[in-house]
Structures are given as structure tokens and as C-alpha cells.
Chains A and B, each alone.
Chain A
Amino acid sequence: MSEPRQRFWAPAVILVVLVVLWESLVTAFNIQQFLLPKPSAIAGNLVRVAALDPSISGEGEDISLENRFFTVLPAELSPETQASLEEARWLAFNLGGRRFFVLPGSNLTPILAASWFTLKEALGGMAMGTVAGIAVAVATTRWTATREALLPFAIAANSMPIIAFAPIMNNWFGIDNPFSKMAIVTIMIFFPIMINTVRGLVSVDARSLELMRSYAASDSEILIKLRIPNALPSLFSGLKVAGALAMIGAIVGEYFGGPRIALGVFITQEAALFRFASAWAAILVACLLGIAIYLVILLAERLALPWHPTFRA
């Protein structure tokens, strides 16, 4: 296994190379922005940098409506522009005789608001789906008869394209009600959680079970002291799958209709208005949120399973 440092740097370098390549190819071949916007145009929706260059003269224009990632302005700014820069900036610093301002991008506020709304749907659905999946898994293990009766349905249901229910959920709960998207997410992640948990609860080493039997342990004691700890690693594999599905479920659910504030609605509207850079920026944030959910699950796994082979030093 490679050093953690190396594991971080290798993908980081590849990412930078890809972004630079993307930017230069789109520029070189003059590709239309509705086909593929430049990475800098996408980034400009989220964050911008303005540089005040003393060697340029003339009136500084107001940049508040532009979504360029990098703007060069004359050092002598009109008082209004100066004031708006100072007010909006996150960061200001001097470098090589120029003054740099780091500002929020032109679409940052609506994208963040939409992301927060959709993230809440995803997390709400994930919580409900996880609780339901674990509850059903434990019940089916506790009462074997239930498992034999239910498992065929679960497996059949697992191969259904659940996202196809999105319009129906929108109809049941109302398009603007976040619960309609939570319901989709719940159904989507219920099966991976349940099936992984059942697998972990059932695949108990025969000798470990005999040990419990030799102590005359009750079924509930076996469940709590053997089956549930034994199921935790596969529950976490299920959670990692579910984490990825949750954002997908919420956003795709919103493609079928939702309040204007939702991320899926934001993306469809921006695309419909040919504001592709801003649509791409929203997708980028959705990706980052998906990664963040995954990392949180990874961290929780590490804390919950300090004994697990994966974390053996």
C-alpha cells in the first residue's frame, strides 16, 4: 500500500492536468459554450478573482454581473466599484504589485441555497431508508419465517427502476413538498441497506454461533452480541452505496418537478435558458456533496469499527 501523501497527490495532479487540458482544448478549438463550457467559466459561477493592475488605465467596470473566473481591472476604480469589491470580497491580498480580490461567484448564493434544500431531502430520505432497512433486516433475521416470505419480494423489488416512481411520488405528496423526494430516496436506498444488513446478520461464523449456544444464550442475546456487530461492516458497505444513491434520487426526483429552490429544478432551468456554465456549476456542487456524504460515512465507519481488518495498521 502506498503512502497516504502519495495517495492524495497522484489524483490531485491528474485532476489539475485534466482541468488545464479541458480549458485549453475548449479555447483552442473554440468549442461553443452550450456544448462544453470552460472550467473557468463554470468556476466563475462559484468563485471569482479580480486583480487590480496599476498599469491599466481607464474606468473600472462593475463586475457584479459577470461570471468570469478571473477579471483584470484598472487600479483606479470608481468609488462605487471600489465599494462593491470591498463589500463582497472574502479575501484581499497584494501579490507582485497587484491587489487581488477573491469574491463569491455570480451564482454562488442560489446554487448553495438549492444544494442545501436538496441535501436536506437526500439526508432525510437516507435516514428514513436506513432506519426502515435495518428494522426490516433485523425483523427478518429474528423471525426466520418472515425472511423466507419477504426476501423474494425484496430481491424482485430491488431490480425495479425505482426512479420511475418519481412522478407518482410527486403526485402523492405534492411537487413542492420535500417529502415527495425523500420518499423516492427512501425507497431507493431501502434495498441496498436491507440486503446488506441481512447478509451481515445471517453470515455468522458457525463456531461463533455454537459458542453462544453453549452458553445457552437467547435469540435476542445472540442478535445483540453476535449478529449485529457481525453485520456492521456490511451495513457500512450498504450505506456507502446508499450515500451515492441519495443525491441521485433527490436530484432526479426534482427533474420531474419541484420547487424553484431545488437543485434539480435549478439545473433544468439554467440548461433551458442556455446558461450551461451555471448548470455545470450546480452539478459540480452536487458531486462535491455526494463526495462529502461518502467521506462522512467513511469517517463514521472508522469510528464505529476500530477493530475491522480494513483499518489494520
Chain B
Amino acid sequence: MPGPVVILENVDKIFGEGASDQVHALKEIDLRIEQNEFISLIGPSGCGKSTLLRVVGDLVQPTSGVAAINGKSARQARLDQDYGIVFQAATLYDWRTVAKNVQLPLELMQFSRSEKESRTQAMLELVELSDFAGHYPWQLSGGMQQRVAIARALSFEPSILLMDEPFGALDEMTRERLNLELLNIWRKTDTTVLFVTHSITEAVFLSTRVIVMSARPGRITADIAIDLPQPRNAETRSNVRFFELETTVREALRVSEAGEAPERKPA
């Protein structure tokens, strides 16, 4: 039995420490994520969700505390190419076509030529962009660009998927379809997902656990297990338990936002 995939212990992140405009983005974060969990982070804008994701991905160094991933340091996990990241903005390379953008990690990870091509094709089919393989990013809508970024992150089957509001720019229909596709991929592989969203419905539908955060300083205020049966599908949404859990998350969010006000005052 392998240990937790993600361990955060007492992690603090202060941007611009010591300066008059310092931001206490994360405070005393303790988080354990087991293999094959699907965790959603939810909380008000600016509460530190992206920062938490970036600490896990070794893109931001915590001011204090420990981040251990897959039993090693976050840095080592990054060097071992354990992460697939979807940023809040698509972050495509302008000079690469859609297909070439999806291929970027495959090139860097020395996949064989045939493997590169078959995976790129499969991923573009998944996000329904096969007809746009030869287009450049500027020829795509914002939502299409975001789908390319998702295809790119999934293409090499990373052991940990870090997704920062990946479906935020998409219409409801595409979003629901990609939710199901993401769950499919997650079920078929050993992937562990850390998923940031603003949608309570999406968080409850996708996750095995929902983590609720409060702002300034960013803290974990609730950790709600989502005990809906797997696999999730259209019926899940009409489950009574689904509505109960939505209410629980909404309530936890309200409490966390209400509790925010006194925190802001300087001590």
C-alpha cells in the first residue's frame, strides 16, 4: 500500500514578506491526498487556490512547511515529470499549431514518433478539436484554447493532474461532457487529481473530497468527503445525496466567507 500522494504539512506562503504590501496567501495548510483521489479546491477569489496548486507543483516555494509528493520532495517529483498542469489561462505557444502544442510534453519526454502521433490524435478527438489540428492558437476561441491545454496535460498520463479552473471558459454542455471524460480518464488510470473550481455543482459531481478555503490568509476551513457512488453519471445529478452535499459545501463556503472579515483587521 503506497503512502499518500500529496502531503502538505503546516505550509505557509507569504508573498513579498516584510514589505508593506505583503500577502499572506496560505496559512497553516495541512493536506493529505491518497492515490487515486479526486480533490476539488473551492473558495472565494484570491483565497490562494492557485497558489496551493503551484506549491504542490513546485512552481512556488512555500515560505515555511513541507511539501512531499509521491514520497519525495515536490522538486524531485517535478524533475520526475509526475505533474500534468492546466493553468487558469491556456498558455499555448503561439508558434505551434494545435497538434504541435499537444505534442510539446511528448517531445520533451522522448515519446516515439508513432506514439506521439497516435496520442495527439486521440487527445484531439477527446476534446473534439481534430479538425483544428493545423490551426494556430490565435485562430481558436478562448474555450477551444483551453481544451487544447487540457489535451496537452492529459497526453502523457501524468501521475498527478493539477487543474486550475480548466473548464471555466467553457459552455455548460461542453463542460459537462468534459467532466465525464475527465472522470473516465481518472477511473482508467491511477491518476490523482487536484482540481480548482468556482462551481459547487462541478466540485461535488467530480470529487471524492471537496476542500473549502477562506481568504486572507488562505486557510482550509472544511474538508468534505463526497460519498456519492462511483461511477458518476447523469443519474448522479438527480441523487438526493447530491443536493445534500451541494448544500453542505455551500454552507461551508458561507461560513468561511463570513469568518473572513475579522481576519482582515491587523492584530
Contact = CB atoms under 8 A, between A and B. Distances in A.
A215 B104 CA distance: 9
A309 interface: yes
Looking at B54, B84, B93, which has the most chain A CB atoms within 10 Å of its CB? Answer: B93
B165 to A, nearest CB: 14
B87 A216 contact: no
B87 A210 contact: yes
A145 interface: no
Contact of A309 (B57, B78, B87, B138): B138
B185 interface: no
Nearest to B152: A211
Interface string B87-119: 101010111100000001101110000000000
Given A207-B87, A307-B136, A213 B78 contact: yes
A309 to B, nearest CB: 7
Interface string B22-40: 0000000000000000000
A232 B94 CA distance: 12
Contact of A211 (B58, B79, B91, B138): B91
B81 A216 contact: yes
A217 interface: yes
A210 B108 contact: no
Contacts of A212: 108
A139 interface: no
Interface string A225-237: 1100110100000
B195 interface: no
A205 B89 CA distance: 12
A229 B95 contact: yes
A208 B91 contact: yes
A30 interface: no
A214 B83 contact: yes
A3 B246 CA distance: 57
A214 B85 contact: yes
B57 to A, nearest CB: 6
A210 B54 CA distance: 10
Contacts of A208: 91, 93
A212 B58 CA distance: 12
B172 interface: no
A280 to B, nearest CB: 44
A221 interface: yes
A5 interface: no
Nearest to B89: A207
A202 B153 CA distance: 25
Nearest to A217: B108
B59 interface: yes
Contacts of B138: 307, 309, 312
B93 A214 contact: no
A215 B58 CA distance: 11
A213 B95 contact: no
Nearest to A212: B108
A212 B91 CA distance: 11
A305 interface: yes
A214 B59 contact: yes
Contact of B108 (A215, A229, A306, A307): A215
Nearest to B80: A216
Interface in B52-66: 54, 57-59
Contacts of A207: 87, 89, 91
Contacts of B84: 214
A221 B81 CA distance: 15
Contact of B93 (A216, A221, A226): A226
A214 B78 contact: yes
Given A211-B91, A225-B108, 17 more contacts: A207-B87, A207-B91, A208-B91, A210-B87, A211-B85, A211-B87, A212-B108, A213-B59, A213-B78, A214-B78, A214-B84, A215-B104, A216-B108, A225-B107, A230-B95, A308-B94, A309-B94
The 9 closest A-B pairs by CB, nearest first: A229-B95, A207-B91, A307-B136, A214-B85, A216-B79, A307-B95, A215-B108, A210-B59, A215-B105
Interface of B: 54, 57-59, 78-81, 83-85, 87, 89, 91, 93-96, 104-105, 107-109, 136, 138
28 contacts: A207-B87, A207-B89, A207-B91, A208-B91, A210-B54, A210-B59, A211-B104, A213-B58, A213-B78, A214-B59, A214-B83, A214-B85, A215-B81, A215-B105, A215-B108, A216-B81, A216-B108, A217-B108, A225-B93, A225-B108, A229-B93, A232-B95, A307-B94, A307-B95, A307-B96, A307-B136, A308-B94, A309-B94
